[in-house]
Chain A
Amino acid sequence: MAVSQLIGARVQRREDPRLITGHGRFIEDRLPVGLLHMAVVRSPHPHARILRIDKGAAAAAPGVLAVLTAEDFHKQLQGVMPVTPSFVPEKKFVPDRFPIAGDESCFQGEPVAVVVATDRYLAADAAELVRVEYEPLPAVVDPEEALREGTHLAHVDGPDNIGWDMTFEGGDIEAAFARAEVRVTERILQQRLAPTPMEPRGVLADYSPYDDRLTIWLSSQNPHFIRLFISGAMGLPESRVRVVSEDVGGGFGSKISPYPEDYLVPAASRILGRPVRWIETRTESVLTTYHGRGQVFTAEAAAMRDGTLLGLRLTQVLDLGAYHGTFGAFQACACLMAGGVYRWQAIQARTIGVLTNKVPTDPYRGAGRPEGTHLCERMVDRVAQEIGMDPADLRRKNFAREFPFVNNFGLTYDSGNYDGSLDRALELVEYSSWRRRQEEARKQGRLIGIGLSTWVEICGFGPSQPTAAATGGISLVEAAQIRFLPSGSVAAYVGTHAQGQGHDTTFSQIVADTLGMPLEMVELRHGDTAEGPSFGYGTYGSRSLAVGGMALHKAAVVVRDKARNLAAHLLEASPDDLVFEQGTFAVKGDPTAHKTIQEVALAAYGPNLPTGMEHGLEAVSYFDPPNFVWPFGAHICVVEVDRDTGAVALQRYVAVDDCGNVINPMIVEGQLHGGIAQGIAQALFEEIAYDQESGLMQTGTLLDYLVPTINEIPDLTLDRTVTPSPTNELGVKGIGEAGTIASSAAVINAICDALSPLGIHHVDMPASPGRIWKLIQEAQS
């Protein structure tokens, strides 16, 4: 393969040989000598006062070194767990959160004590012996109930349950509604979801008392931020803490924020002077790994009878859980993206964050953007249905077509071609043919539905200015370092960190192409705070390529430019007279005068440098994007609903997406497959449910929480349009979340389309057979 063609090629993944042979390096695979095992004692109540903890029996159990509670950890850890402003700069009630409950526990699963023992079985045994005396307190579970005046408080000392309440104004909403000929309203539920990476969380910490250094291995999307937070809490200089995250078995947002155990394990290691490890069980994962979604929307759309969209008014009630998630307010971006790909005269969006006695919510794949898209695409379909217009035609009538397009809240979509992706998707799915089949099926009483979702997302976080507020001071940019080693291989470091996205491969493709090197001479490193630039910003929000990939590209260009100057010196030519092709600098017009970049690299460590040039061939670059990036596309789902059972059969799923230029099509397709599957899962299967009376979780295992199996996900038909992003030199956008952002709306729109002859206009998620059957019964009675 010619080295200059790596970008855009289906390069097989370099991370795979170790993963398919059982030689991955996941958190539980590390077994240092002298390892101790931590088990966590968790509150079984949604809300309780902790009256007394009797450690006696547990402390005396075999193999137990320590039983630790909040009192012990307060001597080790300062401050409270972080909450960032994200999209809601002004919060109302932000309860302080310490990693372990003291006098009051506020959700089922909150840590109350930990046991550290020589063996995981013994730690688990001893955890059963910790006697905690609770006084159960009234709990509030439903977010809308939590808003009611005089209801129970999620925290006994709280003023109320309101975490935030703010309204985004995007134009004159009254004027838009005043003109309307049609109005539709809907209440749309975004159920709580468990992200469920197949590798649960895990933390291993090794504190060395002799040099006051701490190393933490954990399964994380965000090792540098974790170092920042944990070093601060432990009172250690950031430079003395190393956080390492090797292979990460999926994250989907759930491994961005710090968790209680990320603090408790290092603190326990410092108390005991030994390596300590905690590995989450799946039951703990479903119960305590931050949930996603958990929102209730009420929305009203205004339009003209000819299909012109006018106004959208919505309220997002967001179930925060018992504490604000570190990046929980990011989900308010659903409000800012509620207008989707359409021109609206005005949008008004209110977001209310509500505290309840449940595990916190935080970003989960898409985080706010699936919710915004789902709402927008449902409302657009409702308008189409109301005025009897084909949903594809209504979309076309209102698409934004001039780019850059500034939406109602001042966000600038960098590039787009919404007609292009919709037209291609309609063609691929054979839309008119399906409409005919639908018509015929209806005559026989069969319920076939076709659902569209034309989506856009904001991703690629930075830029630095708008995101400085979002993180509480540290701007989201990305850092990379390129090092040419003397013998001519390249080590590339980046501050993002993959959890299955294949960055080892795609990022190496970028570096190899920019430097004209073969892929095997480029080594990509990430996930270790001891290596590379001083800070890294992690992988989430489909930012890795558009920001991290660009940082790598920039650093590689700096290195290449220096190599050019050195090559010119060695070849006694002017740098401008050199051409760089296939990794070789050659003097124009003189085929005998050339140096490979690897020869130049060696020379950079030798005696013959031009005056003023420092030794070495390496560079650190930061990329601060001038804008977000705005991928988009069109998904179309065809379903048949069984009138008798309410079961939904997915007949066809077509997705035409556009993420700008593509580095590796194979990986883009894989990201879409997985993302679409997660959106289908939300639409049809998954829901974290709590009993409204007791406040206890009802879906605590993978038997109750329905992650789809291979039998639930059909073949997916994908295609692509390519509209390069003008935001970065590579012309790339993000694709990690696209599938999830688009797909729940396509599936639910299809189901609603199928059910429309029965007068059913809306179905909440998950659209389980039971839920649909009930709607059909109600409609027919």
Chain B
Amino acid sequence: MAQTVRLAVNGVARVEEVEPRLLLVHFLRERCGLTGTHVGCDTSQCGACTVLCDGAPVKSCTMLTVQAEGMAITTIEGLAPPGEMHPLQTAFWESHGLQCGFCTPGFIMAASALLAENPDPTDEELGRGLEGNLCRCTGYVNIRRAVHAAAKAIREGSAAPTAVGG
């Protein structure tokens, strides 16, 4: 009953046989070994599993792998080249925008979609863009700061990816 699905994950084309009921998040984590996309709920409230499907933020626990046919998927691992960081990642680091880090990949992916659409969001717009993601550690204060800082860095063109550990 397996079905063939063709898609690209972080720029790599894949042709896979999957059960029709296989959730995209399980495909990414267990077939592709991309465990940065987390499952924090099974009811699509927490947003920890957010990935980009053709650039749009999607909660991958709520999508079947077969629905991603023909799509380009970007996960947290694919946001910047290996060994480098996307400005959002740098900003989360510098602003202490994470504590346990479990929700963080989802926040960063959702924020990347938000900033692609709106490079200079107000607090209110930022809130609308990230209201589908839950964080239990930070009280969101530093997440807001991080996203604003990243937006500024991208706008000002100082957005060259920085080295991990740098």
Q: Mark B19-56, 1 if CB is under 8 A from A, else 0.
A: 10110001001100011111111110110100000000
Partner of B140, one of A281, A675, A710: A710
Please state if B134 and A247 are interface contacts (CB–CB under 8 Å): no
Q: Which residues of B contact A281 (CB under 8 A)?
A: 41-42
Please state if B96 and A710 are interface contacts (CB–CB under 8 Å): no
Please state if A711 and B101 are interface contacts (CB–CB under 8 Å): no
Please state if B40 and A199 are interface contacts (CB–CB under 8 Å): yes
Partner of B46, one of A19, A21, A702, A715: A702
Chain B residue nearest in CB terms to A502: B99
Q: Mark A281-301, 1 if CB is under 8 A from B, else 0.
A: 111000000000000000000
Confirm or deny: B6 has a beta carbon within 8 angstroms of a beta carbon on chain A.
no
Confirm or deny: B116 has a beta carbon within 8 angstroms of a beta carbon on chain A.
no
* Closest beta carbon of chain B to A83's beta carbon, Å: 27
Please state if A501 and B99 are interface contacts (CB–CB under 8 Å): yes
Q: Mark B126-137, 1 if CB is under 8 A from A, else 0.
A: 111011111111
Partner of B165, one of A17, A24, A196: A17
Given contacts A20-B85, A199-B38, contact A676 B139 (CB under 8 A): yes
* Closest beta carbon of chain A to B109's beta carbon, Å: 10
Interface set, chain A 117-175, CB cutoff 8 A to B:
120-121
Chain A residue nearest in CB terms to B144: A710
Confirm or deny: B104 has a beta carbon within 8 angstroms of a beta carbon on chain A.
yes
Confirm or deny: B103 has a beta carbon within 8 angstroms of a beta carbon on chain A.
yes
**Chain A, interface residues (CB within 8 Å), range:** 35 or more
Please state if A673 and B142 are interface contacts (CB–CB under 8 Å): yes
Given contacts A501-B99, A710-B133, contact A21 B77 (CB under 8 A): yes
Distance between Cα atoms of A31 and B45 in the complex (Å):
26
Chain B residue nearest in CB terms to A281: B42
Q: Which residues of A contact B40 (CB under 8 A)?
A: 198-200, 249, 282
Confirm or deny: B75 has a beta carbon within 8 angstroms of a beta carbon on chain A.
yes
Q: Which residues of B contact A279 (CB under 8 A)?
A: 39
Please state if A670 and B99 are interface contacts (CB–CB under 8 Å): yes
B-binding segment of A8-16, A472-480, A608-616, A636-644: A8-16
Distance between Cα atoms of A671 and B127 in the complex (Å):
21
Interface set, chain A 671-688, CB cutoff 8 A to B:
671, 673-678
Q: Which residues of B contact A283 (CB under 8 A)?
A: 42-43
Q: Which residues of B contact A247 (CB under 8 A)?
A: 100-102
Distance between Cα atoms of A460 and B126 in the complex (Å):
38
Please state if A20 and B136 are interface contacts (CB–CB under 8 Å): no
Partner of B92, one of A16, A198, A499, A502: A16
Confirm or deny: A709 has a beta carbon within 8 angstroms of a beta carbon on chain B.
yes
Q: Mark A694-711, 1 if CB is under 8 A from B, else 0.
A: 000000011100010111
Please state if B137 and A674 are interface contacts (CB–CB under 8 Å): yes
Distance between Cα atoms of A435 and B30 in the complex (Å):
58
* Closest beta carbon of chain B to A578's beta carbon, Å: 35
Partner of A500, one of B21, B46, B100, B131: B100
Confirm or deny: A716 has a beta carbon within 8 angstroms of a beta carbon on chain B.
yes
Please state if B99 and A710 are interface contacts (CB–CB under 8 Å): no
Interface of B is mostly: loop
Distance between Cα atoms of A711 and B139 in the complex (Å):
10
Please state if B101 and A19 are interface contacts (CB–CB under 8 Å): yes
Please state if A250 and B45 are interface contacts (CB–CB under 8 Å): no
Distance between Cα atoms of A377 and B137 in the complex (Å):
25
Please state if B139 and A674 are interface contacts (CB–CB under 8 Å): yes
Please state if B134 and A24 are interface contacts (CB–CB under 8 Å): no
Q: Which residues of B contact A17 (CB under 8 A)?
A: 85, 93, 164-165
Interface set, chain B 109-166, CB cutoff 8 A to A:
126-128, 130-144, 164-165
Please state if B96 and A669 are interface contacts (CB–CB under 8 Å): yes
Distance between Cα atoms of A678 and B137 in the complex (Å):
9
Please state if A249 and B102 are interface contacts (CB–CB under 8 Å): yes
Distance between Cα atoms of A678 and B139 in the complex (Å):
8
Confirm or deny: A197 has a beta carbon within 8 angstroms of a beta carbon on chain B.
yes
Distance between Cα atoms of A676 and B137 in the complex (Å):
10
Distance between Cα atoms of A71 and B26 in the complex (Å):
33
Confirm or deny: B105 has a beta carbon within 8 angstroms of a beta carbon on chain A.
yes
Confirm or deny: A29 has a beta carbon within 8 angstroms of a beta carbon on chain B.
yes
Please state if A713 and B139 are interface contacts (CB–CB under 8 Å): yes
Given contacts A248-B100, A703-B43, contact A13 B93 (CB under 8 A): yes
Confirm or deny: B7 has a beta carbon within 8 angstroms of a beta carbon on chain A.
no
* Closest beta carbon of chain B to A702's beta carbon, Å: 4
Q: Which residues of A contact B45 (CB under 8 A)?
A: 282, 701-703
Please state if A22 and B138 are interface contacts (CB–CB under 8 Å): no
Confirm or deny: B98 has a beta carbon within 8 angstroms of a beta carbon on chain A.
yes
* Closest beta carbon of chain B to A247's beta carbon, Å: 7
Chain B residue nearest in CB terms to A25: B35
Distance between Cα atoms of A29 and B48 in the complex (Å):
14
Confirm or deny: A431 has a beta carbon within 8 angstroms of a beta carbon on chain B.
no
Confirm or deny: B69 has a beta carbon within 8 angstroms of a beta carbon on chain A.
no
Interface set, chain B 51-107, CB cutoff 8 A to A:
75-77, 79-80, 85, 89, 92-94, 96, 98-105
* Closest beta carbon of chain A to B130's beta carbon, Å: 5
Q: Which residues of A contact B9 (CB under 8 A)?
A: none
Please state if B134 and A707 are interface contacts (CB–CB under 8 Å): yes
Please state if B36 and A24 are interface contacts (CB–CB under 8 Å): yes
Chain A residue nearest in CB terms to B61: A282
Given contacts A17-B93, A21-B164, A198-B103, contact A29 B98 (CB under 8 A): no
Confirm or deny: A719 has a beta carbon within 8 angstroms of a beta carbon on chain B.
no
Please state if B101 and A249 are interface contacts (CB–CB under 8 Å): yes
Partner of B43, one of A28, A674, A701: A701
Given contacts A22-B77, A281-B42, A674-B99, contact A707 B136 (CB under 8 A): yes
Distance between Cα atoms of A194 and B139 in the complex (Å):
16
Please state if B105 and A22 are interface contacts (CB–CB under 8 Å): yes
Confirm or deny: A579 has a beta carbon within 8 angstroms of a beta carbon on chain B.
no
Please state if A21 and B89 are interface contacts (CB–CB under 8 Å): yes
Confirm or deny: B108 has a beta carbon within 8 angstroms of a beta carbon on chain A.
yes
Please state if A710 and B136 are interface contacts (CB–CB under 8 Å): no
* Closest beta carbon of chain B to A536's beta carbon, Å: 19
Please state if B93 and A31 are interface contacts (CB–CB under 8 Å): no
* Closest beta carbon of chain A to B137's beta carbon, Å: 5
Interface set, chain A 22-48, CB cutoff 8 A to B:
22-24, 26, 28-29, 31
* Closest beta carbon of chain B to A366's beta carbon, Å: 14
Q: Mark A263-281, 1 if CB is under 8 A from B, else 0.
A: 0000000000000000101
Q: Which residues of B contact A702 (CB under 8 A)?
A: 41, 43, 45-46, 134
Distance between Cα atoms of A16 and B137 in the complex (Å):
14
Confirm or deny: A666 has a beta carbon within 8 angstroms of a beta carbon on chain B.
yes
Confirm or deny: A252 has a beta carbon within 8 angstroms of a beta carbon on chain B.
yes
Q: Which residues of A contact B144 (CB under 8 A)?
A: 710, 715
Distance between Cα atoms of A165 and B75 in the complex (Å):
54
Distance between Cα atoms of A121 and B96 in the complex (Å):
37
Please state if A198 and B141 are interface contacts (CB–CB under 8 Å): no
Distance between Cα atoms of A120 and B25 in the complex (Å):
13
Please state if A24 and B140 are interface contacts (CB–CB under 8 Å): no
Given contacts A17-B165, A707-B136, contact A26 B42 (CB under 8 A): no
25 residue pairs A–B, Cβ–Cβ below 8 Å: A16-B93, A20-B105, A21-B164, A23-B77, A26-B38, A29-B29, A29-B35, A198-B100, A198-B103, A198-B137, A247-B100, A248-B100, A250-B99, A250-B102, A250-B137, A283-B43, A666-B96, A670-B137, A670-B138, A671-B99, A674-B137, A677-B140, A707-B136, A710-B126, A713-B140
A-B pairs, 7 with minimum CB distance: A22-B36, A19-B101, A249-B102, A677-B139, A500-B100, A500-B99, A22-B76
- Taking A249-B103, A670-B142 as known contacts, 9 extra A-B pairs with beta carbons closer than 8 A to each other, sorted by chain A number, are A20-B89, A121-B19, A250-B102, A502-B99, A673-B140, A677-B139, A701-B41, A709-B127, A709-B131
Residues of B within 8 A of A (CB): 19, 21-22, 26, 29-30, 34-43, 45-46, 48, 75-77, 79-80, 85, 89, 92-94, 96, 98-105, 108, 126-128, 130-144, 164-165
Residues of A within 8 A of B (CB): 12-13, 15-17, 19-24, 26, 28-29, 31, 120-121, 196-200, 247-250, 252, 279, 281-283, 499-502, 666-667, 669-671, 673-678, 701-703, 707, 709-711, 713, 715-716, 739
